Amino acid sequence: MGKIYIIDVTNRDGVQTAKLGLSKLEKTLVNLYLNQMGVFQSEFGFPTTHHESHYLAANLELARMGVLQPLRLEGWMRAVTEDVEMCFQLVPDIRHLNLSISTSDQMIAGKFLGKKNQQDIIGMMVDALEAARAHGAETVGVNAEDGSRTSLKFLLEFGQAAREHGATRMRYCDTLGYDSPFTIYETAKALAENVGLPIEVHCHGDLGMAVANSIAGAKGIIDGGQDAYINTTVNGIGERAGNADLVAVLLAVTKSKGFESGQYQLGNEMDMSKSWQIGKFASYAFGVPIPMNQPGVGANAFAHASGIHADGVLKDPDNYELYGFEELGRGEPELVETGREICTGRYGGISGFRHVMNEIKGDEAVHFRDAEEAERVLELVRYANVLAQKPLVEDELLFIARYPDIARELLTMTPLDY
Ligand SMILES: [Zn+2]
């Protein structure tokens, strides 16, 4: 039986969302949390975008150091040869790519304005794929953008050409959230049966079905005899109505009727107890509150008020809860300072900074060797605060103190000189 793996695209689809974004340090923290959860792969950014170069290189360095392991870091770009060439010029150490091109008649006609036909699309994809492999890419996923509005016949032709030219996976994109669980099941199964590659499903929530479509697609892929890769984002943040939410997908795969029995299983163990932490961090970093009724991590996900429910859950939580809050890392009290507060940041000095770092307790506590080291870390903290424009969280401060050289690279921003 095939297995289910998670490819999180928060650092690509999430950050390209209108009105939202993350600093490079925040993107790095997302990768660290994804790694701690056991997510298979992070689509960690845009290798052809100049301001991503330092961030991408720094995260590849973290992978080499063993800090971001075993998470696989993969970059997204258009399936055109120029993008692949630019990618390896700007980020020579990158080894995992996803190449994306539109496959629907709507987009081929509507974007290329009559200059391309289906065979041109396959030709562009194959050229880009071969360029990626020639540059030493270890894995290359090929994405059919707007796959749900593409004929199955052309999707199969596209997927088979990708396989013949050495693609590792094919991504079926429900770019506009047009599928339902019934249609995506059939399409994904047909792709798995006939393309001969593991298949990814990339689902959007325009009709409120991103998570349902993701697990229906995964079921189709496994029934079709391949491994299934589900694309997620933290808190479902993504273009328009968003993507399939990471925590909700994990809950659906492990707890829902028919999936919990073990026939459709995750391919690697995942630590769900990080769910609360990553959801809270992404909410803070994006500046987007978690809806109170969000699965698992919403404020009301384990709240009971009505007499019958409260009485029932007090007698036995299984009466009204499908899973326990502890499993998601919830339940620890959160301390909020209500008295004097010392903050550190872009205009901060050494004594305030030392105070803030001294407040971090336990194994995490930071002890600077000397005043010079503390001053050096503070300087990086100032820059990180300038880029984030909000107070850094404890994990960001700790990251900078632990990996000052990596932090410096993440904070380096030099616009091109024309
Ligand atoms: Zn998308």
Q: What spacing in Å lies between the alpha carbon of 313 and ligand 1's midpoint?
A: 38
Q: What spacing in Å lies between the alpha carbon of 376 and ligand 1's midpoint?
A: 39
**Structure confidence by residue, pLDDT tens digits, 239-274:** 999 999 999 999 999 999 988 778 899 999 999 999
Tell me which residue of 122, 69, 60, 67 sits closest to 97, measured CA to CA. Answer: 60
Distance CA 262, CA 131 (A): 40
In 304-342, which positions are buried (b, 16+ CB within 10 angstroms) versus exposed (e)? Answer: beeeeeeebbeeeeeebeebeeebbbbeeeeeeeeeeee
Q: What spacing in Å lies between the alpha carbon of 225 and ligand 1's midpoint?
A: 25
Distance CA 208, CA 217 (A): 15
Residues with CB under 5 A from ligand 1 (ion): 13
Q: What spacing in Å lies between the alpha carbon of 243 and ligand 1's midpoint?
A: 7
Distances 174 to 82, 104, 200, 216, 217 between C-alpha atoms, Å: 26, 11, 11, 13, 10
Q: What spacing in Å lies between the alpha carbon of 197 and ligand 1's midpoint?
A: 21
Tokens of 20: 């939202």
Q: What spacing in Å lies between the alpha carbon of 107 and ligand 1's midpoint?
A: 15
User: Which range, of 2-16, 127-141, 213-227, 346-360, averages the lowest pLDDT?
Assistant: 346-360
Tokens of 184: 């995506």
Q: What spacing in Å lies between the alpha carbon of 202 and ligand 1's midpoint?
A: 6
End-to-end Cα, the chain, rounded Å: 54
Model pLDDT, residue 114: 85
User: Which range, of 222-236, 256-270, 320-334, averages the lowest pLDDT?
Assistant: 256-270
Distance CA 137, CA 150 (A): 28
Model pLDDT, residue 358: 87
DSSP labels, 63-127: HHTTTT-SPEEEEEEESSHHHHHHHHHH-TT--EEEEEEE-SHHHHHHHHTTS--HHHHHHHHHH
Q: What is the mean pLDDT of residues 175-198?
A: 98
Q: What spacing in Å lies between the alpha carbon of 204 and ligand 1's midpoint?
A: 6
Q: What spacing in Å lies between the alpha carbon of 353 and ligand 1's midpoint?
A: 40
More confident of the two residues 211 and 341: 211
Q: Are 383 and 24 in contact (CB under 8 A)?
A: no
Tokens of 236: 């479902």
**Structure confidence by residue, pLDDT tens digits, 148-162:** 999 999 999 999 999
Model pLDDT, residue 386: 95
Distances 80 to 109, 128, 204 between C-alpha atoms, Å: 18, 5, 24
Position 360 pLDDT exceeds 90: no
Model pLDDT, residue 162: 98
Q: What spacing in Å lies between the alpha carbon of 237 and ligand 1's midpoint?
A: 10
Distance CA 382, CA 404 (A): 13
Model pLDDT, residue 299: 96
Model pLDDT, residue 215: 98
Model pLDDT, residue 16: 94
Q: What spacing in Å lies between the alpha carbon of 244 and ligand 1's midpoint?
A: 10
Q: Are 191 and 156 in contact (CB under 8 A)?
A: yes
Q: What spacing in Å lies between the alpha carbon of 181 and ligand 1's midpoint?
A: 17
Q: What spacing in Å lies between the alpha carbon of 173 and ligand 1's midpoint?
A: 7
Q: Are 101 and 79 in contact (CB under 8 A)?
A: yes
Distance CA 344, CA 193 (A): 56
Q: What spacing in Å lies between the alpha carbon of 13 and ligand 1's midpoint?
A: 5
Which band of pLDDT confidence, cut at 50, 70 and 90, is reported for residue 198?
very high
Return left, alpha or beta for 357; rule: phi > 0 is left, psi -120 to 50 is alpha, else beta: alpha
Q: What spacing in Å lies between the alpha carbon of 25 and ligand 1's midpoint?
A: 23
Q: What spacing in Å lies between the alpha carbon of 68 and ligand 1's midpoint?
A: 24
Which band of pLDDT confidence, cut at 50, 70 and 90, is reported for residue 14?
very high
> Which amino acid is present at 195?
V
Q: What spacing in Å lies between the alpha carbon of 302 and ligand 1's midpoint?
A: 30
